[in-house]
Chain A
Amino acid sequence: MSGETPRPDGREPEPEAVPEPAGGQVPDADPGSPLAEALETVDAQAEPGLAEELQQEAAREQTPVVADTGARWRDAFRRATSGGWAVALGAIVLAVIAGSILIIVTDERVQAAAPYFFARPADTLAAVGRAVGGAYSALFQGAVYNFGADSFAVGIRPLTQTLTNATPLIAAGLGVALAFRAGLFNIGGQGQMLMAATAAGWIGFGVTGLPFPWHMLLCVVAGVAAGALWAGIAGLLKARTGAHEVIVTIMLNYVAFYLLSYFLATPGLMQAPGSANPKTPPMAESSVLPPLLGDSYNLHWGFVLSLAAVVYVWWLLNRSSTGFSFRAVGENPKAARVAGIDVSRATVYVMLIAGGLVGLAGAQQVLGTVTTGFGADIDAGIGFDAITVALLGGSSPWGVLGAGILFGGFKAGGSAMQAAEGIPIEIVLVVQSLIVLFIAAPPLVRAIFRLPQPDRVPRTRRRRAAAAPTTAPTKGGQA
């Protein structure tokens, strides 16, 4: 505004500012010592480890300064999807603790005893113990082994039920995890399962005359293909147009759901003849996945397929060049592109395979778990639970296997908790949700359990660097 404000008569610069050579201003730095001594100091400490770490420090401290939101989101995403097993375990423990508190608070006997806690604390504590102990004991007996059973064969039934529940969770979880590893968020498990169930089911009850293993295999293949195609749409749109896969897969969920609902409500398409319910006829005998442990258990061969899928995904990710490029694209798509990897193609392929895995889950549902005909709710929320399973499993195939079994156990044990102890099933669901919540915030879990934070320099590294100096001898020793 005020034009050229004449400088407020600046003091002349030189007088005090003149640099006295290595004078007293900087107290400790080798006072009065010229170059030679300084050189000496540093040569002494020219240990490669420290130099290197300082470099790394510099690199690290430069990254956050660049406000690259894309990278930050990617980084957060990667951290959430690949938290170590310690974090997963910590999250489970925390969630179980939180669940216990909920159980205590909602338990009627605790509520009854709490008002006179200061008079007779033992009552309250006993009630608390009974509530929590009973709840988790019921959970265990419902999910693993029923101690009240007459024989081992009966007692082990909960475990087989757990595995049955886990079967589609593992397959679908692998699908989500694989997409995670390629940097894609596959929210479309529901839609992919529904389309897979539609395809597998249609062939399952519609095709007749094919003998047993072939009919069943055809159904499985059809289900896998349908899931693959449904997810492939999202992959193709992402690769070609940049449409975000989260939005596309969510929308495809709706499309699949209403499409299936329409099929189910339309006589002559998928609705069971002579019925007004939106439900298919039962699957043909020849298309059903046979029981794995005999007729007295629900566990079917689908579980073996899930195990095979785990091995396949492990091989794909760790031993195949396709998986290598998936991972490269997931970790750093730009570098992958510069290295000649076709990112678009990888995106489409990974969605095809991921959808196929989720499709396997859909096929397992209609061919193994619910063979008496199904409705539009056949996915049973597995498509979404799969996200949880993949997160908990750290997006690794073996992790997904473990997480799938854990969640299968929650499902089996949750009903037992409800039946035996009257604990609302919602509490189990709260525990499940809390697990995800804690996994999504690894720093929180690490802080609570005092696990090392990965973005800090791990304590051991410095020691290692000092103890076992680096491979090549330092060449920058002397002046």
Chain B
Amino acid sequence: MRLELRGITKRFGALVANDHIDLVVEPGEIHCLLGENGAGKSTLMNVLYGLYQADEGQILLDDAVQEFDGPGDAMAAGIGMVHQHFMLVPVFTVAENVMLGHESTRAGGVLDLDAARAKVTEISARFGFHVDPDALVEDLPVGVQQRVEIIKALSHDADILVFDEPTAVLTPQETDELMGIMRQLRDEGTAIVFITHKLREVREVADRITVIRHGKVVGEASPSASDGELASLMVGRAVELVVAKDEPTLRENALEVTDLEVVGPGGQVLVDRVSFSVRGGEVLVVAGVQGNGQTELTEALLGLQEQVRGSIQLDGQELVGRTVRQILRAGVGFVPEDRNTDGLVGEFTIAENLVLDRTDGPPFVRRGSLQLRARDSFAREKVAEFDVRTQGIETRVGRLSGGNQQKVVLARELSRELRLFVAAQPTRGVDVGSIEFIHKRIVETRDTGIPVVVVSTELDEAVALADRIMVMYRGSVVGIVPADTPRDTLGLMMAGIPPETGPQNEGDAA
């Protein structure tokens, strides 16, 4: 089926999220929608999927104008969507999830699970998915869960499949498999819209590329375009993919983690006897696919995990068993992975958020009273220093963009006297301009001579920032390697395969 979007415009108040976007997707092609976070890709697809109503413009399927009042209409018309965040019920089986929303029943209202099961088996056989229809979704690895999403879409006879940032949660190898699946689907005549902001994937799989920026189509590109060309189309200026930094000057002070073990509430081992050390003046990037224990590791460093064994020594001081407040006082700066839930109070003002972890004494609290004047002048200073773009310090943080929010977190954490800096996913959901700024600040922090630990799932970022890279897989350390390790090796390490000790192939390490 041929999909055409004609002049789609979607406004939110005065904000134009999509500005007269035209897009044609032919059957049997993979059409990449490339753009930064917030460029309007997801809005466009939500319009297509009936979640939003376009203010102007038309959706045409095989040249027939469509009116979608909701995802049900879109699905009925043959559009399937694989969401970035899986829309699956974890405690249901694969078959139950696949038929959810389209339950067929036998006499007496009994669910016809067999039909769903058969469908799952049939589709997964067709594409070589190897998905057990009776497995509980929560027991499946992420990559397989995504396949369930795909099966779900296909089971509704979708002729047009939208993949919304599908690779965010996958290992490089799983990503490759997904690419294979997409090609296979394309070869069967499905029209595929592939939303992403990862250039490598685009070039690998796309037949056509449309770049969206600020809600507008800014151009088309061919898959043979270079990374640099694509990136500058996306961003509108040359992007510095490399972080400028000197050779590290190592100092004596260090973070020593020995046999660290974190056990989750269900008794599962989340971090499995991890040992590493970071010297003052160097950046250790913890790489790996999300969900392999990095989050828990950083939380353990800050005392946020309940069941921790082993030892974390900062300059000889034991941190395990201390409260969060004590660890903060010991000089640990922490940028949490999810700033909205863990880093900021959205309803609080910038000023309030900047002193969130300073409620235990001077200069912002005296005799139990907040020192508003001190706080406000501090806030104004930090807003200027960290280039937070805002109306003023009384703006609620929830109103800021991702990049500016992250700068607020960074400003707060870097304004204390630090002896260790831990940043988890510091640039996730952050615009490119802010990414550069944040990277620069992290390197500057390193150069003040303290140990820096950065968690990143983006290989590019890991390679650019790191002095050394530690790869985690299923809670344990696969290896700690120099930053100039070839990407292939790193990719394999992220899938749990330890680096062979020896061959250093031709590296394209940037």
Q: Which residues of chain B have C-beta atoms less than 8 A from A52's C-beta?
A: 389, 400-401, 404
B14 x A462 contact (CB < 8 A)? yes
What is the chain B residue whose CB lies nearest that of A29? B217
A30 x B218 contact (CB < 8 A)? yes
Tally of contact residues, B, Cβ under 8 A: 107
Say if the beta carbon of B288 comes within 8 Å of chain A.
no
Say if the beta carbon of A296 comes within 8 Å of chain B.
no
Q: Which residues of chain B have C-beta atoms less than 8 A from A21's C-beta?
A: 220-222
Say if the beta carbon of A433 comes within 8 Å of chain B.
no
Say if the beta carbon of A151 comes within 8 Å of chain B.
no
Q: How far is the CB of B5 from chain A (nearest CB, A)?
A: 10
Q: Which residues of chain B have C-beta atoms less than 8 A from A319's C-beta?
A: 369-370, 372
Q: In the complex, A203 Cα to B139 Cα: how many Å?
A: 61
B26 x A17 contact (CB < 8 A)? yes
What is the chain A residue whose CB lies nearest that of B335? A338
B29 x A16 contact (CB < 8 A)? yes
Q: How far is the CB of A57 from chain B (nearest CB, A)?
A: 5
A11 x B189 contact (CB < 8 A)? yes
Q: In the complex, A1 Cα to B123 Cα: how many Å?
A: 9
A54 x B360 contact (CB < 8 A)? no
A335 x B220 contact (CB < 8 A)? no
What is the chain B residue whose CB lies nearest that of A323? B370
Q: Which residues of chain B have C-beta atoms less than 8 A from A8's C-beta?
A: 188
The residues in B between 318 and 348 inclusive whose CB is less than 8 angstroms from any CB of A are: 323-325, 327-328, 334, 336, 340-348
Interface size range on A against B: 35 or more
Q: Which residues of chain B have C-beta atoms less than 8 A from A342's C-beta?
A: 323, 325
Binary per-residue interface labels of chain A (60-81) against chain B in the complex, 1 for a CB within 8 Å, 0 otherwise: 0111011100010000001000
Say if the beta carbon of B187 comes within 8 Å of chain A.
yes
Q: How far is the CB of B480 from chain A (nearest CB, A)?
A: 27
Q: How far is the CB of A51 from chain B (nearest CB, A)?
A: 7
Say if the beta carbon of A59 comes within 8 Å of chain B.
yes
Say if the beta carbon of A456 comes within 8 Å of chain B.
yes
Q: How far is the CB of A148 from chain B (nearest CB, A)?
A: 49
Partner of A337, one of B85, B118, B324: B324
Q: Which residues of chain A have C-beta atoms less than 8 A from B264's C-beta?
A: none
Partner of A1, one of B125, B209, B360, B399: B125
With contacts A56-B400, A334-B342, A462-B13 known, is A62 near B42, CB below 8 A? Answer: yes
Q: How far is the CB of A242 from chain B (nearest CB, A)?
A: 11
A17 x B29 contact (CB < 8 A)? yes
Say if the beta carbon of A241 comes within 8 Å of chain B.
no
- B residues neighboring A (CB under 8 Å): 7, 12-17, 20, 22-24, 26, 28-30, 37-40, 42-43, 46, 83-85, 87, 118, 121-122, 125-126, 128, 183-184, 186-189, 206-211, 213-223, 229, 232-233, 236-238, 302, 304, 323-325, 327-328, 334, 336, 340-348, 352, 356-357, 359-360, 365, 368-370, 372, 383-384, 387-392, 399-404, 429, 431-433
Given contacts A2-B122, A5-B122, 5 further A-B contacts (CB under 8 A): A16-B29, A26-B22, A58-B402, A62-B42, A464-B391
A-B contacts, 12 listed (Cβ < 8 Å): A8-B188, A11-B28, A17-B28, A17-B29, A28-B217, A35-B233, A41-B218, A319-B369, A337-B304, A340-B325, A470-B390, A472-B389
